[in-house]
Structure 1
C-alpha cells in the first residue's frame, strides 16, 4: 500500500515538473504577459493536484489532473500580432477607436455628491462614448477593426466614494459587452480595459477639488450637513492628496493592453492592468459579501476612520448606557 502511494506521489511530481517546463517554454517563446488571472489559475491547479493526490484514487485523480494541465496549457494566451499586410487599413481607413476620455468629478458618499457630478460623469464617461462610437461605426465596420473602451475596476466592483464615477463606468462596461455581441456579425472585435489605480489627470487639480468641495458645502441640505458634521465633510478635501499617493505613475501596463487590443490577431474581451485589478473583482464576485465588505473597509478607508457626527454621538451614547 505504501509503495502504491509513493508511486502515485512520484507520478504527480514528474507530471508537475514536465508541465511546468512546458508552460515556462511556451511563456518565454511567445513572450506571454503574466496576468493575475493566470496566477489564480495556477493556484487552482495546485489545489486540484493536492485533492487528486490525497483524496481521489490514483488513476482517476491522475487522469483528472492531466486533463486540467492540458486545458490550462492550451488556454495560455499567445500574443500573436497582426502581420504587416493586415495593417494596411491603418493608412486607408479607420482601424480602431480607443475611448480614453474620463472624469472622476469628486469622491464622497453618494448622498453628498451633487446631481451635477453624476450628470458630468455620465455625459463624459458614457454618453460621449456612445455618441462617438455611433458616428465612426460605419468606418469601423468597413475595416472590420477594433473598438476599445477604457473602463475601470470600479465599473464592476463597488468602491466607497465612487458612486457617480462607478455608475458611469458600469454603464460603459455593459455597453462594451453588448456592442461586442452586436458587432460579431461584422467581424469587429470589442475589448474593454478595466485598470486599477493609475496616476492621471482624472483627479483634476487641487483647485478643482476645492471648488467641488465648496459646491457640496453650498448645496447640501441643512439636516444632512448636521448628520455628517463639519469634521467628516472637511476630511473629503484630503482625498485628492491621498489618491495621488496611492496610485501608480507607471502607465505602461495600460498602454501595452491598448496596443494588444488594437493589433493582436485575437484580442482579449477584457483586460485588467494594474495592481489587484483582477483579484479584487474576483473577491467581490466569488466570495461571500461580508468578506469583500471587510476587505473594502480596510483597503478603501477614504475618511481615515472618521464617522459622521450623528453616528459618533449614537456610538458614544451606547457606550454610556
Structure 2
C-alpha cells in the first residue's frame, strides 16, 4: 500500500457512531467503502445516483447505514442531499466526507469533442464535487472532520483530450487549497490517487464504443485529416492501455481511504495501485520528452 511510518499506526478513538458521507456509491469503490465502514461502526450515509443502487446497498448493510439519491450535476439534488445529511447528523456535525465522483468522460482527441463532452465530466467530477464540499463544510468544521477526495492517478498526466484530466487536476488544486485553509478549523483533507482497478468506471469496451460514436460524428474534413489508420491505431492503444494497467485488488484503495479517515495523522496523499505509484507519478515528474514518447507508443 505505502511505506508505513511509526506515526501511521496512531488511530483516533471512539469512532463508533460518527457520520461519514460517501458519494457515488453505485460504483464498486464507493459501494465497497460504504459496506466496510458500516462494519467498522460508522454511521454511513451513502449517496447513490439511482434508487436501485440505494436499495441494493441497504439490503446488504446494517440498519444504521442510510442512503440518499444524489445527482452531482444537479444543484437541487445536491441541496436535498445536504438537508438529509444535516438531519441525520442531528447537530453533531459530519465527521467524514468521501468524494468519489467520476463523470462520463469521452476519451478522444480534443477536436473530436464538443463543449457538451467537457461538461459531461466537469459538471460531475469537478464542479459537482466542489459544490457538495462547500455546502457540507459547516458540518465538517463543527466536527473537526475529514475530507477524502478519490482521484484517478491518470489525471496526473494529460494523455487524452477532453475534460478527464482537467477534472482531476482541478480536484488536486481544490484539495490542496482546501487543506491549507481548513487547518485553522481542525479539518484534515487527503487525496487518494488510485490507478485502474477491475470493476471501476474505466472500461475498454465503453471507450471503444465512445470512440466509434465520436469518429462517425466527425465532419468529413476532420475525419480525412486523421485518416482511418490513425483511428484504428488510436482505438487499439486506448483499449490495450486499460488492460495492461488494470489491477485486481480493490482493497488497496479501501485501505487508503480508511486510513485517511481514522488515522490520527492522515497523509496528504496516498497512492493506491502499482500504476499510481510507479507509472503515473513517475511520468508526472519525468521530462516532457519522455512522457511524450510514451504517449506516442502506448
Quick check: TM above 0.5? yes
Q: 1:224 aligns with which of 219, 222, 228?
A: 222
* Match runs of 1:14-29 below 5 Å: none
- State the partner residue of 1:51: none
Q: Check 1:200–1:136 CA distance in 2 against 1; reply closer, same or farther (3 A cut).
A: same
Instruction: List alignment gaps of at least 5 residues for structure 1.
Output: 1-32, 39-74, 302-321
Structure with the higher fraction of residues in strand conformation: 2
Partner SS, residue 116 of structure 1: helix
Secondary structure of residue in 1 paired with 2:272: coil
- Between Structure 1 and Structure 2, how many residues are aligned? 226
Contact 1:89–1:143, Cα closer than 8 Å, also in 2 = no
Q: 1:177 to 1:295 in 2, by over 3 A?
A: same
Residues 77 and 223 of structure 1, relative CA distance in 2, 3 Å threshold: farther
Aligned residue in 2 for 1:139? 139
Contact 1:155 1:173 in 2 (8 A): no
Shift of 1:77: 4.6
Answer yes or no: is the 8 Å Cα contact 2:93–2:141 preserved in 1: no
Q: Give yes or no for contact 1:110–1:164 (8 Å, CA) kept in 2.
A: no
Taking the aligned partners of 2:105 and 2:285, their CA distance within structure 1 comes to 30
Following superposition, the deviation at residue 255 of structure 1 comes to 0.6
Deviations 1:70-116 (A, max 9, x none): xxxxx7653311112x5554455421011112135232222323332
Secondary structure of the structure 2 residue equivalent to 1:148: strand
**Equivalent residues in 2 for 1:140-155, closer than 5 Å:** 140-155=140-155
CA distance in 2: counterparts of 1:216 and 1:258, whole angstroms: 35
Q: Give 5+ residue unaligned stretches, structure 2.
A: 20-42, 44-91
Q: Secondary structure at the match of 2:163?
A: helix
SS in 2 for 1:178: helix
Provide the C-alpha distance between the structure 2 equivalents of 1:288 and 1:241, rounded to a whole number of angstroms. Answer: 24
Contact kept, 8 Å, 1:203 with 1:240, in 2: the verdict is: no
| CA distance in 2 between partners of 1:263 and 1:111 (Å) | 44
Structure 2 SS opposite 1:278? helix
Tell me, yes or no, if the aligned pair for 1:80 and 1:265 is still in contact at 8 Å. yes
Determine the structure 2 residue equivalent to 1:79.
Answer: 9
Alignment partner, residue 181 of structure 2: 182
Q: Which residue of 1 aligns with 2:64?
A: none
Change (3 A) 1:125 1:81: same
Q: Residue 194 of structure 1 corresponds to which residue in structure 2?
A: 193
**SS of match in other structure, 1:194:** strand
Q: 1:246 to 1:282 in 2, by over 3 A?
A: closer
Alignment of 1:87-236 (within 5 A): 88-90=17-19, 92-158=92-158, 160-161=159-160, 163-203=162-202, 206=205, 208-209=206-207, 212-236=210-234
Alignment of 1:205-284 (within 5 A): 206=205, 208-209=206-207, 212-238=210-236, 239-240=238-239, 243-244=242-243, 246-281=245-280, 283-284=282-283
CA contact (8 A) 1:195 1:254 kept: yes
Please list the CA deviations of residues 171-219 of structure 1 after superposition, one character each: whole Å capped at 9, or x if unmatched: 111111111112111110001111122223413584x546523431343
TM-score, normalization by structure 1: 0.62
Paired residues of 2:95 and 2:140 also in contact (CA < 8 A): yes
1:230 Cα offset (Å): 1.9
What secondary structure sits across from 2:110 in the alignment?
coil
SS of residue paired to 2:265: coil
Change (3 A) 1:97 1:204: same
Deviations 1:17-74 (A, max 9, x none): xxxxxxxxxxxxxxxx544xx8xxxxxxxxxxxxxxxxxxxxxxxxxxxxxxxxxxxx
**Whole-angstrom distance in 2 between the partners of 1:104 and 1:250:** 24
Return 243-252 or 253-262, whichever deviates more: 243-252
Higher radius of gyration, 1 or 2: 1
